[in-house]
Amino acid sequence: MVDMPEVFAGGLSTEEQDIAYTVQQPASPAVFAGVGASAAWKTKPSWYVVASEDKTINPELERMMAKRANATTTTVKTSHVAMLSKPKEVSSVIFDAARSVSR
């Protein structure tokens, strides 16, 4: 069994890890079979939060995907669930993106 707190939700409190573990559904195998027709990052501005302590997706892979998308990239020292463990940092990226595209 995968240690969810270690791999997925590191950086959260024990209570938050328990909640994440309880509500997280397994990924459908169909997720890995799908092929997109056109990726928005190829034609639209993109932003990416690299979770430098991620044990679910290798941070080097995250950096490669961000670079490929020519994304404005922010690195945050956190686990896979950056939006839960570092909400201020992630919301700052979202607000910066929104301000950028609304000009």
3: in domain: no
pLDDT averaged over every residue in the chain: 91
Cα 86 to Cα 101: distance, rounded to the nearest angstrom: 23
11: which strand partners?
none
The residue to which tokens 């939700």 are assigned: 9
* Token pair of 17 as six digits: 């890890």
Q: Tally the domains of the chain.
A: 1
Calpha distance 103→100 (Å, rounded)? 6
88 occurs within a structural domain:
yes
Residue 20, domain member (yes or no): no
Rg (CA), the chain: 15
Position 2 pLDDT exceeds 80: no
Dump pLDDT digits (tens) for 42-92.
999 999 999 999 999 999 999 999 999 999 999 999 999 999 999 999 999
Structural domain span for residue 84: 38-103
* Element spanning 21, H or E: helix 14-23
Answer yes or no: is 50 within a domain.
yes
